[in-house]
Amino acid sequence: MTNCLPRQEPTPAPRFIDPLEHDDFLRLEHAAYLKGLLKPFKGKGDLETWASQCESLREGVIALAQRLLAQATIYPFSLLPVVLAQQSTGAGMALRWRNTDRSTMGVALWTQLIGQPTTPLPLVQDLFALEQQRIALNMQISALHALARQARDAAAKLAHAETVYRERVERDASLSPQESGR
């Protein structure tokens, strides 16, 4: 005989973190930096401006990552043998899992922590949310850094091309018509 009672969803576990939501990214999203990528750049100034916008967005994402980190380092997470930590990188920072004695770092620590029966079940959901956001924030920081670096490199190449072009035009302008081949 089948049970005719409606199935009840399990009561959600209490949350210890306030995950980053869409609204947290709205201010950053309005910068529309990708629109800037798909346009004709008229010179190094345009590229430098776009690079600055990418860097500003990266700093905004770093601020969100630090806000997440602040939540991940207080009770009850501070009682765990694995913590989320900030690591300085060329892009500014990255979030990494490390053990409390700082001897080991990496996602394998998070994987072990999730699998340990001693990790309280109510924390598993929050640890999963932290890992999801860690991955996304690290990717966003890295991608914005790379875009800004590429834009600055392209600006330098455009400046060089403009210098070579102007030298040639100025040289030809100083020559007589017979010397210039006109």
pLDDT tens-digit readout, 132-173: 999 999 999 999 999 999 999 999 999 999 999 999 999 988
- Proportion of the chain above pLDDT 90, given as a percent: 66
Mean local confidence (pLDDT), 40-50 = 87
> Which residues are within 8 A (CB) of 31 and not within 5 positions of it... i.e. 6 or more apart?
53, 56, 57
pTM comes to: 0.79
167 or 5, which is more confident?
A: 167
pLDDT at 113 over 90: yes
* Distance in angstroms (rounded) separating the CA atoms of residues 154 and 17: 41
Backbone angles phi, psi at 147, to 5 degrees: -65, -45
Q: What are the angstrom distances between the C-alpha of 84 and each of 31, 97, 109, 130?
A: 29, 5, 10, 8
pLDDT at residue 2 tops 80 = no
